[in-house]
Amino acid sequence: DVQLVESGGGSVQAGGSLRLSCGVSGYSSQDYCIGWFRQTPGREREAVAAIDTDDRATYYANSVKGRHTVSLDNAKNTAYLQMNSLKPEDGAVYYCGIRQYCAPASWGRAREYDYWGQGTQVTVS
């Protein structure tokens, strides 16, 4: 079974930092794309960033570009989202999703991801 397990959420003051982790197991391919998304009540899941294990290409939403960094540790099958200079509007449940590859034109489409983690809450005050 494919499993994605997020961790690292919490409460932080504006301007602070958090690092989220997404552990991957059971995916059929050694190469894949991990996408980070966030969601607040009543709103659609919003793309934050993505990274492709094959070429390490990264993608960012304009709202987080320059503040957040997505990375991979292939040996640990873990993706990370380093979030800096956090703002109250960054507060949400953060999810990681997995798909075969990150297409530049569609990396931010939640419906194209095959599996999702359970989510981790980020609160910024």
**Average pLDDT rounded to a whole number, residues 6-18:** 97
Question: For residue 56, what pLDDT band results from cuts at 50, 70 and 90?
Answer: very high
In tens, the pLDDT along 28-51 reads 988 999 999 999 999 999 999 999
Lowest-pLDDT range of 25-29, 61-65, 93-97: 25-29
Looking at beta carbons, which pairs linking 70-75 to residues 24 or more positions away fall under 8 Å?
A: 70/34, 70/36, 72/34
Please report the pLDDT score of residue 30 as a whole number: 86
* 122: pLDDT strictly greater than 90: yes
Q: How far is CA 20 from CA 5, 69, 101, 106, 110, in A?
A: 10, 10, 21, 23, 18
* 74: pLDDT strictly greater than 90: no
Q: Are 8 and 97 in contact (CB under 8 A)?
A: no
Instruction: Quote the CA–CA distance of 97 and 36 in Å, as a whole number.
Output: 6
